[in-house]
Amino acid sequence: MENLISINNISKRYTIGNEVIDALKTISITIAKGEYVALMGPSGSGKSTLMNILGCLDSPTNGEYWLNGKEVSKMTDNQLAEVRNKEIGFVFQTFNLLPRATTLENVMLPLIYAGYKKQERMRMAEAVLTSVNLSNRMEHKPNELSGGQRQRVAIARALVNNPSIILADEPTGNLDTKTSIEIMALLQTIHTKGNTIIVVTHEEDIALHAHRIIRLRDGVVESDVANTNITKVEDRQ
């Protein structure tokens, strides 16, 4: 398979006052197109730092990060913002929806930044909302939706630009067990359609939905193994 992500000897160092913190030491990882990967690690492992670099929210101190054939580790903030909009769909634990905007307007938002015209934005947003079974909630605002529905809106927003990666940060952290299973089933369905998914989680049962599990500890990769016990669930849309 063709590599989508190639990280070569990256490190991340922060200086806070007189203290120097090596959040990431030396990490090299490749992720192929179409993979479903879980990124795990305890607090202080470097998991969040690596997620921010993968999501082009931050740049490494040293090393190279290649995403879809482009070296993003040397890009300016404006260039990184463009890559985030075109290449990465984010799903957050807290949903990050605009409270006064409708479901449709929330999903259309990345398309505004991408420069699509209004009719095209509406068409694309309606199509992706239908694919996550929210066609009857397009005019509802976030406070009129359940937690699971809000996360589906967030997933639809992540998908609408047809990004290279879906990067999900603790996507079930604010959901009950039943709704968590439904959201993981939806991510499973999205993966079967060819999308590359990276789930950042501290929950073992969530990580077991992925086909590969990368564990970090103290700023380095502790293990990187194929998951031989993949949890599969039906999408109860």
Q: How many domains does the chain have?
A: 1
Structural domain contains residue 80: yes
pLDDT tens track for 187-236: 999 999 999 999 999 889 999 999 999 999 999 999 999 999 999 886 44
Q: What pLDDT was estimated at residue 113? A: 83
Structural domain contains residue 6: no
Closest CA to 187 of 149, 126, 224, 132: 132
* Average pLDDT of the residues in 164-168: 94
Q: At what angle do helices 147-159 and 103-113 cross, to 10 degrees?
A: 20
Q: In sequence order, what are the residues at sequence separation of 6 or more whose Cβ sits closer than 8 angstroms to the Cβ of residue 60? A: 10, 11, 12, 24, 53, 73
Mean model confidence pLDDT for the chain: 92
Q: Are strands 36-40 and 19-32 parallel, antiparallel or unpaired?
A: unpaired
Q: What pLDDT was estimated at residue 157? A: 94
Structural domain contains residue 21: no
Structural domain contains residue 114: yes
Report percent pLDDT > 90 for the chain. 80
Structural domain contains residue 69: no
Domain of residue 179: give its range.
Answer: 35-62+76-226
Q: Classify residue 11 by its DSSP letter.
A: E
Rg, the chain, Cα only: 18
Structural domain contains residue 222: yes
Structural domain contains residue 85: yes
Structural domain contains residue 92: yes
CATH number at 110 reads 3.40.50.300
